[in-house]
Structure 1
């Protein structure tokens, strides 16, 4: 990369938490991050790598380059998968750097009208289940139109807007029962003797598109001695806006989540989440609200209570016997979600749980740490790069010869299902680990 030309207008970032120069200086530009970076693997440009982006952050801090469309595109191409954080031998906190950069871009860079409107739609609708659910009705009717009509519409969408075409292609098949709100009891007692009392975060997109995951999670927890508390006022954890630099919205949603759990928090042994992207953000509340004089201490305590449901069950152990799943033996491949693997550093816990199911063989794909291209709403914002990554991920999963895929994140699940369909492999099922455990605890366990 050539030396930047000095500009006269000073720093391109404002003074509100710009990328920390000390964190920038920790990067020695060794290049270990390059092969782990999915955007670099697809695009092939140094400027679309973690090392290249850190170089640009420094130049922006110094006022040596402008916050131009080209510069912003290199930050927009970042999936935020955090694979580079795991790979870096110098311990560079790229997660902190990109989290500081994205809000700067949103405040200081004027996006095009269409880009602003599209992003506003995403962040006004998707983090709010009450707003998203009414849209399921026209989507359900649209899915009833038949394959030919939908294929015709999709081709037209691809010409008008690849982003809208990507959104259409990611919608999972909807069932009539998903169209109406699901009300959970505030407290669900443990089956038998209570060992723990836990809170459960329902998520926003997941509770609408794959409600069976929450239902399976509740059954698994209660069968293993947990009383489950579900605060009715809970909303989005803030992951979607937080990952894309919508800082004020993320902070507001985080405060609302904490307020929803506040009446129950003192009596809870843990606050559990079954979606990895949400879990990473929930565990970041202490940092997200670290400057909030009212919430910062509460946020640190809240974050300390958060555990992924697989992390929790692996620690406390299962008490309900697991039965073999039919067909036996059953061969499945486990897909590591990025914010579980790199963000929460959890990889063995899910495998330890699933391998307790008799007759289950769990395989790992080649390039397991490479992002599938979902990454929150990345596949809705950068569909071309996301499509290449999704195709590679699904091919690697299929190459294991497994009968099904295990995935613990709703975004990954939708992305993988899309690319299974594109490769004509619709018959390969995708399940959440809690769905597998639930079936293995049932009187007549079966995989399909």
Structure 2
């Protein structure tokens, strides 16, 4: 495995050395809160990563298990007083155990880190961290986690639900997401299935017992029933606008927009609402057809090389010297995508041909909520039917990008909307990219807790500017209650600006409406 673009040995050592094992991260960590196992905490995972990097531990299956149990919410980074870049450590670790050939990177960095274990104790004064040098469950000497652990903690459930197979994840990461046409074809197939007689037959046969009872927990049928319940309602059209849409009125800004894999298919109406809001704010909107997936799922699931290829393609698609032309900003309406794109500079730092362009691109990436908060007039943003709303902070917007106030300020300016804070609004809902598919039981526990927090607000509406959160919370409303509506913030804003309570969307004849996709219904 190539080490290009990865933090080098000194960078890894530098990040690891920042951790003083103080434990402030523990209360912020959803998996530690549920499992109460040190290896499933940020502190424990950092200790495991240090052991692997220093050659004291082989990165076996148990190591991989603890790395992939992390939801990647980055709440620990917000809580950390030492500024440990935990997310980068976990991405590095997942690259070791994910794609084939990961051992090459261990061999490349381990020699430079081998002396770190001794110098660490000699060169640092006693402090809180020295009381936890080898937390419970973390090997202090050579070996593998497989030698020391033979069973799961057993705190999630006695019958673990089957998860999405690894081969399916890798197939999607490598052979579907890099190709927008394949993404749309897969979405079109899923849309057809969601409306087909085949789905009804499966629901009535495989996914239900003779008396209509749900399948037994821990079975393949139970896992399939869960995926079926999460299957969203697909829009009639996918997002397919012209490449350039003029401002409605005098042009004040020229911005690019990432159309996105999920946003461009499942959330096509939200993309349309985004375009409408931007054009009304005086933006010329550029949506290059050459763009592709942001690469977030790849970089979070052990495929950094795939993510780099996507990053290069997007940098080229939005490059000011290319067909796109100069832009004031590159806007994103999916929190996970925006967080990944803001990291392109880090992702391609080891590539001399792309490092400078990647850093310049990352500096122009903005979440659409922070941009709209700045450019929309300081007035009431229209009105909607009276409702009580609460806001869910997407992890990769609040913790990953530090954007918390802008979405709330926008909602507070809508007449008729009463905004009520949710307890633990920045606690992960359990979606976390594909976490709800690969770690279903932990995700379910997190979702149940989140829906209790939603219920405590008495809200009719939950607003979340991220597609994964929206899908997860809609599923949670059906499974656990309360029966709330869950919407993207841009849809609420667009409806408010319409002022009539009608569904958000582009105005007639403005040229931004999605074109008809292939008919599969």
Asked whether the two chains share a fold, i.e. TM above 0.5, the reply is yes
Instruction: Note if 1:211 corresponds to 2:268.
Output: yes
Change beyond 3 A, Cα 1:307–1:445: same
Instruction: Note if 1:150 corresponds to 2:209.
Output: no
Q: Equivalents in 1 of 2:75, 2:265: separation in Å?
A: 29
* Greater mean deviation of Cα atoms: 125-134 or 97-106: 125-134
What secondary structure does 1:405 align onto?
A: strand
The answer (yes or no) to whether the contact 2:31–2:41 under 8 Å persists in 1 is: yes
What secondary structure does 1:192 align onto?
A: coil
The answer (yes or no) to whether the contact 1:223–1:320 under 8 Å persists in 2 is: no
The answer (yes or no) to whether the contact 1:403–1:428 under 8 Å persists in 2 is: yes
Task: Report how many residues are paired.
Answer: 427
Change beyond 3 A, Cα 1:62–1:165: farther
The answer (yes or no) to whether the contact 2:255–2:331 under 8 Å persists in 1 is: yes
Could you list the per-position Cα deviations for residues 404-443 of structure 1 after superposition, in whole angstroms to 9, with x for gaps in the alignment?
1101111111111111111254x42111111111111115
Structure 1 partner of 2:496: 440
Q: Equivalents in 2 of 1:195, 1:137: separation in Å?
A: 37
1:182 deviation in Å?
A: 3.7
Q: Equivalents in 1 of 2:443, 2:204: separation in Å?
A: 20
Structure 2 partner of 1:36: 28
Q: Equivalents in 1 of 2:338, 2:294: separation in Å?
A: 8
Structure 2 partner of 1:160: 220
Structure 1 partner of 2:170: 120
1:164 deviation in Å?
A: 5.0
Structure 2 partner of 1:351: 408
2:75 to 64, 67, 83: 83
1:231 to 261, 269, 288: 288
The answer (yes or no) to whether the contact 2:329–2:364 under 8 Å persists in 1 is: yes
The answer (yes or no) to whether the contact 2:383–2:499 under 8 Å persists in 1 is: no
Q: Equivalents in 2 of 1:288, 1:385: separation in Å?
A: 29
1:7-156 equivalence runs, <5 A: 17=8, 20-106=12-98, 107-108=100-101, 115-123=165-173, 124-126=175-177, 128-144=179-195, 145=197, 149-150=202-203, 152-154=205-207
What secondary structure does 2:50 align onto?
A: helix
Could you list the per-position Cα deviations for residues 18-60 of structure 1 after superposition, in whole angstroms to 9, with x for gaps in the alignment?
6712211211111111111011112210100000001111111
Structure 1 partner of 2:150: none
1:239 deviation in Å?
A: 0.9
What secondary structure does 1:371 align onto?
A: coil
1:393 deviation in Å?
A: 1.1
Structure 2 partner of 1:335: 392
Q: Equivalents in 2 of 1:390, 1:32: separation in Å?
A: 23
Q: Equivalents in 2 of 1:137, 1:254: separation in Å?
A: 25
1:69 deviation in Å?
A: 1.5
1:168 deviation in Å?
A: 3.4
The answer (yes or no) to whether the contact 2:430–2:447 under 8 Å persists in 1 is: yes
Q: Equivalents in 1 of 2:191, 2:339: separation in Å?
A: 31
Q: Equivalents in 2 of 1:153, 1:235: separation in Å?
A: 36
What secondary structure does 2:59 align onto?
A: coil
Q: Provide the TM-score with structure 1 as the length reference.
A: 0.89
Change beyond 3 A, Cα 1:14–1:68: farther
1:163 deviation in Å?
A: 5.8
1:136 deviation in Å?
A: 3.7
Structure 2 partner of 1:372: 429
* Greater mean deviation of Cα atoms: 77-86 or 150-159: 150-159
- Give the greater-gyration-radius structure (CA): 2
Change beyond 3 A, Cα 1:363–1:322: same
1:392-431 equivalence runs, <5 A: 392-425=449-482, 427-431=483-487
Q: Provide the TM-score with structure 2 as the length reference.
A: 0.77
Structure 2 regions of 5+ residues with no counterpart?
104-163, 209-214, 505-521
